[in-house]
């Protein structure tokens, strides 16, 4: 392993399932049954801020945000999508894409910092992950 | 006024100062002395989600997010930037760019839904707006 190799932050890995890989980003499903919630992580070492991305990767990121938003919207028909790069806890650059509903656990507040994560039942998680993988066209 | 004309949501207008205009977005300073906080609003009518943007505007948006992030970072030297398009309260598409510090009012939680906005003193607001306008190169 060199200093330039991408390694997913273990805190992100611990709370998510890998759905697949887009051109720039690894696509994760957050294991929280309260919210349909994706995370995109650019596979580049050492990134913290969006402005750390090279120009071409910046365009790839917004295109992949749009792709993931479309897949999540088609799969869940939310009232609103929330898209955010925060990183106050885990500094490795990652982008949240969350499907929000007016009756969800924290509406209209953000999902971060509001209550405990509730892991999916294994069957439900596998079914939802499968539906999303199909939406992305992941093998 | 036609149905296609951009009009800034009055709730955004009420809590912000206009700094200027980039190619796609109006740039606003949120009048909240707790956080150095910009909002970018694409000047297109009827947008709600990032995926509502045409392909060219999508690229413009991420480029302007990068520009605004750089200006805010240079002006405030934050510990972290938070970038987010939420829209749970105001549905008109807008992107928050917030400079965060480990001793700020809501760290490490998000700024949204955490306490009351605290308007700047007028002189401080004018000084900070002037510094930011210079950073953007706004006349």
The residue of chain A with its CA nearest to that of B70 is A51
What per-residue confidence (pLDDT) applies to B113?
85
Who has greater pLDDT, B114 or B57? B57
Mean pLDDT of chain A: 96
Average pLDDT over residues A28-37: 98
User: Which helix (H) or strand (E) covers residue B69, if one does?
Assistant: helix B55-76
pLDDT digits (tens, 9 = 90+) for A71-89: 999 999 999 999 999 999 9
Q: How many Cβ atoms are within 10 Å of B70's Cβ, its own excluded?
A: 15
Question: Looking up tokens 């720039």, which residue turns up?
Answer: A24
Whole-angstrom distance, CA of residue B78 vs CA of residue B73:
6
User: Looking at the partner chain, which of B66, B86, B100 has a beta carbon nearest the beta carbon of A50?
Assistant: B66
Contact A86 B89 (CB under 8 A): no
Backbone dihedral region for residue A136 (phi beyond 0: left; psi -120 to 50: alpha; all else: beta): alpha
Give residue A3's pLDDT.
60
CB–CB contacts below 8 A, A to B: 107
If you average pLDDT over residues A29-55, what whole number do you get?
97
| Residue B90 φ/ψ region, left for φ over 0, alpha for ψ in the -120 to 50 degree band, beta for the rest | beta
What is residue A105's predicted lDDT score, i.e. its pLDDT?
96
pLDDT tens by residue, B30-80: 999 999 999 999 999 999 999 999 999 999 999 999 999 999 999 999 999
Cβ(B37)–Cβ(B30) under 8 Å? yes
Calculated CA dihedral for residues B128, B134, B137, B138, nearest 10 degrees: 50
| Angstrom distance (rounded) from CA A127 to CA A132 | 9
- Quickly state the pLDDT bin for A139 (edges 50, 70, 90): confident
pLDDT (0 to 100) of residue B3: 60
Which residue of B59, B83, B114 is in closest CB contact with A85? B83
Helix (H, G, I), strand (E, B) or coil at A132: helix
Partner-chain contact A66 B58, CB within 8 Å: yes
SS3 (DSSP) at B4: coil
**The predicted structure's pLDDT at residue B139:** 80
- pLDDT of A4: 80
- The rounded distance, in Å, linking the Cα atoms of B89 and B7 is 17
Pairwise CB contact (< 8 Å): B112 & A107: no
**What does the DSSP 8-state code read for residue A23?**
S
CATH architecture of structural domain B16-108? 2-Layer Sandwich (3.30)
**Strand residue runs (E) in chain A:** 16-21, 25-30, 37-42, 80-85, 95-100
| Predicted local confidence at residue A132, as pLDDT | 98
Model pLDDT, residue B18: 98
What is the CATH superfamily name and number for domain A10-100+117-123?
A: HIT-like (3.30.428.10)
User: Is residue A26 over pLDDT 60?
Assistant: yes
DSSP state of A62: H
Decide: A52 and A45 in contact? Cβ < 8 Å.
no
Residue A119 has pLDDT above 90, yes or no: yes
């Amino acid at each position: 392993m060199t200093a330039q190799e991408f390694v997913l932050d273990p805190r992100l890995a611990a709370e998510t399932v890998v759905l697949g890989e887009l051109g720039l980003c690894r696509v994760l499903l957050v294991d929280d049954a309260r919210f349909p919630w994706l995370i995109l992580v650019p596979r580049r070492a050492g990134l913290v801020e969006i402005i750390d991305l090279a120009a071409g990767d910046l365009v790839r990121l917004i295109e992949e945000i749009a792709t993931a938003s479309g897949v999540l919207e088609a799969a869940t028909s939310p009232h609103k999508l929330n898209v955010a790069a925060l990183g106050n806890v885990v500094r490795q650059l990652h982008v949240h894409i969350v499907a929000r509903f007016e009756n969800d656990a924290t509406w209209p507040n953000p999902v971060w910092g509001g209550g405990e994560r509730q892991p999916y039942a294994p069957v439900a998680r596998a079914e939802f992950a499968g539906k999303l993988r199909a939406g992305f066209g992941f093998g």
